[in-house]
Structure 1
Amino acid sequence: MSQPLKGKLAIVSGSSRGIGAAIAENLASKGCNLILNYTTPSSASLASELSDRLNKTYSVSSVPVQADIGTPEGPQAIIAAAKSAFSKADGSLQIDIIINNAGIARNDLIPNVKVDDFTETYRVNVLGPLLLVQAAQPYLPKDRSGRIVNISSVSSSTGFIGQSVYGGSKAAIEAMTRTWSRELAENCTVNAVNPGPVEGPMYASNSEEFLEGIEGWIKHTPLMKAREDLHGKEAVEEAKQWHGRLAKTGEIAGVVGMLCGEEAGWCTGQVVCANGGMLMLH
């Protein structure tokens, strides 16, 4: 099996489950070593099991690290773990890839939004990626071969009802993507991907009112019509519940993995579609 990222090191935040775990597997399958970041003790066993499986399946080295990236201490702990596990004989460390995936969503209508909803969402979704990139910047490649991919959302552009806070936080990460692509141009490319509805507990927690509100978007998304010959009978039935086919986590990971390859070196400062065509703004 070709491993185009063999020997490289990636940090994936929020990687114990869902999209983050799928991204970790995609990178591992390409030979990439990994720091698997997770936040809470409840995710420790998932991160450990994922690490063991990736190491055995792909012959890579992955290390689970518990750290809250939205605090000054969290990213420093991640870098310390990377130094301990992946420093070269001369003590140097190179971090080739950063995937800012960790995020939370607190949806509510304007009158019900609480200050804590705002501060906690922006702490995790916006401050966290900034602090992680700050901590990692001294260890980025000097030859433009590095890759940063920020996980955004279609919510940054669609104005879905109830997403004043979450949508705003994702718009912020897209703005930072463009700034970082200039500031870090000699180190790495910096891009974002913007998933739409994706399988998993985060999307399953949405209210029926929210699902009805985005039904029109889904009906006009080219790849969201479920087909039994392509996706199976179960997927067709499931699509009735969600008003359309949800993306598989591996489909998001595939777009992220594409941006991490050498061939993507001429793409930077972009928000790249990972939503089946839900957004066609330009």
Structure 2
Amino acid sequence: MNATTRDMHNNICVVTGAARGLGRCISETLARAGAARVYACDINMAPAEAWLKEYDNVTAVPLDVCDSAALSRLSARILADHGRLDVLVNNAGITRDALLDNMTEADWDSVLNVNLKGVFLMTQAMLPLMKLQQSGSIVSISSIVGTDGNIGQSNYGASKGGVISMTKGWARELARGGAQIRANCIAPGFINTEMTQAVPQKVLEKMTARIPLGRLGEPTDIAEGVLFLASARARYITGQVLKIDGGLVL
């Protein structure tokens, strides 16, 4: 058994936004790393039907991260099945891009609800399961837009910057009394996902030209960062923002 396989050995994990893209890759990476159970959550799990068949340690959970009652039911289910939670990955997120002049109130509200409120509600619902053992790792997916901003993404940047601020507060709050509950963020740059693949080729070329390492990131680049922060290898790391962007923001 290699080191990667041992990283999540016997861990109980929850991943949101897990049906496809980054969430799928994160879920698969945790499963391959030896997790006892990965609860792969998404508002629409249909895109995951094929890849879920490859893993007997992944459970699909249709879930809206803004539905407090559904989050409570999931928490109760995990408590009954396992009595604890070791890893929470807050990955679910949406975009509704527009220049400030054109951004609607609905654009603002929908992004802030999923990307910020959803992270708050999910973490609040899962936290009691970590407190039972006074340990655990919370990894939230932010963005370089949350650290450095971007044209046409006022709502997205605010939501992802808010995730960073919450995470830093949680790192202090959840370690009180000697607890080993850690909270960290990952801030991806331009990643080769379905969303990026829809961008016109000329725009992609301009994006790539700005990246010192000369390529878009792959979902595995982010998933490996999540695996590190979630594992005992990062046991002395909390309250941090790990940028995985090929050097785009220095």
Whether contact under 8 Å (1:67, 1:77) holds in the other structure is no
Aligned to 1:100: 90
Aligned to 2:48: 47
Q: Residues of 2 paired with 1:34 and 1:271: CA distance?
A: 24
Structure 1 segment 1-282 matched on structure 2, within 5 A? 1-2=1-2, 3-32=6-35, 33-40=37-44, 43-44=45-46, 46-55=47-56, 61-84=57-80, 86-87=81-82, 93-141=83-131, 145-185=135-175, 186-206=179-199, 211=203, 215=206, 218-223=208-213, 225=214, 245-280=215-250
Whether contact under 8 Å (1:4, 1:31) holds in the other structure is yes
Whether contact under 8 Å (2:192, 2:219) holds in the other structure is yes
User: Is the partner of 1:140 in helix, strand or coil?
Assistant: helix
Structure 1 residues without counterparts, runs of 5 or longer: 56-60, 88-92, 226-244
User: Is the partner of 1:103 in helix, strand or coil?
Assistant: coil
Whether contact under 8 Å (2:41, 2:62) holds in the other structure is yes
Between the aligned residues of both structures, percent identity stands at: 31
Q: Residues of 1 paired with 2:141 and 2:7: CA distance?
A: 22
TM-score for both structures, normalised by structure 1 = 0.80
Whether contact under 8 Å (1:13, 1:37) holds in the other structure is yes
Q: Residues of 1 paired with 2:233 and 2:132: CA distance?
A: 18
- CA gap of 1:207–1:110, structure 2 versus 1, over 3 A, is farther
- CA gap of 1:258–1:73, structure 2 versus 1, over 3 A, is same
Structure 2 counterpart of 1:189, which letter?
Answer: R
Equivalent residue pairs, number: 243
Structure 2 counterpart of 1:50, which letter?
Answer: W
Whether contact under 8 Å (2:84, 2:132) holds in the other structure is no
CA RMSD of aligned residues (A): 2.1
TM-score for both structures, normalised by structure 2 = 0.89
Whether contact under 8 Å (2:189, 2:243) holds in the other structure is no
Structure 2 counterpart of 1:126, which letter?
Answer: L
**Deviation for aligned residue 1:28:** 0.9
Larger mean Cα displacement after TM superposition, 156-165 or 73-82: 73-82
User: Is the partner of 1:54 in helix, strand or coil?
Assistant: coil
Structure 2 residues without counterparts, runs of 5 or longer: none
**Deviation for aligned residue 1:183:** 1.3
Structure 2 counterpart of 1:29, which letter?
Answer: R
**Deviation for aligned residue 1:144:** 5.4
